[in-house]
Amino acid sequence: MKTKKLTELAKTIRSKNAGTDKITFDIIFTDPEIYELVKKSRALNRNSVAELFAIDQDRISDFVEFDPAFAIKFTIYRAEPSGSPGESDCFGCQQYPPLLDLEIKVP
């Protein structure tokens, strides 16, 4: 079976601030069939998110497959509060790159 990178399948892959202690991620699809394919592949789940971001699963506060918007969303707790000394991404908008090369099995 061949694979495609998530960037080839999703319209939007982004991260953003979700308060002082969380970052939220959105993976949005325009095609419902591709969304269902990615969902059914189980390549994107709590475990894979923890592995991709090298975090413990208990740092994932939410993981949602939101069918009405053809979107997969998850939120993680920050290691340090937004804006604190040593914290490198106050807005959380530079945290999504580990998702870009995620391989999805396609027919």
Position 86 in a domain? no
Does residue 1 have a pLDDT over 90? no
- Domain hosting 14: range is 2-78
At 10, which CATH number?
3.30.70.260
> Element (H or E) spanning 24, and its range?
strand 22-28
3-state helix, strand, coil in the chain (%, to 5): 30, 35, 40
Does residue 87 have a pLDDT over 90? no
**pTM to 2 decimal places:** 0.93
pLDDT digits (tens, 9 = 90+) for 46-55: 999 999 999 9
- What is the pLDDT at residue 83? 86
Position 59 in a domain? yes
Number of domains in the chain: 1
pLDDT digits (tens, 9 = 90+) for 14-48: 999 998 999 999 999 999 999 999 999 999 999 99
Position 50 in a domain? yes
| Alpha-helical regions (H) of the chain | 6-9, 32-41, 46-52, 97-100
Position 91 in a domain? no
Position 54 in a domain? yes
Question: How many percent of the chain have pLDDT more than 70?
Answer: 100
With bands split at pLDDT 50, 70 and 90, how would you rate the model's confidence at 86? confident
Q: Exposure pattern of 41-77 as b/e (b: 16+ CB <10 Å)?
A: beebbeeebbeebeeeeeebeebebeeeebbbebbbe
CB atoms within 10 A of CB 33: 9
With bands split at pLDDT 50, 70 and 90, how would you rate the model's confidence at 90? confident
Position 104 in a domain? no
Distance CA 61, CA 75 (A): 6
Is the CB of residue 26 less than 8 Å from the CB of residue 14? yes
What CA dihedral angle connects 70, 105, 6 and 74, to 10 degrees? 60
Position 65 in a domain? yes
Position 10 in a domain? yes
Question: What average pLDDT score do residues 86-100 get?
Answer: 90
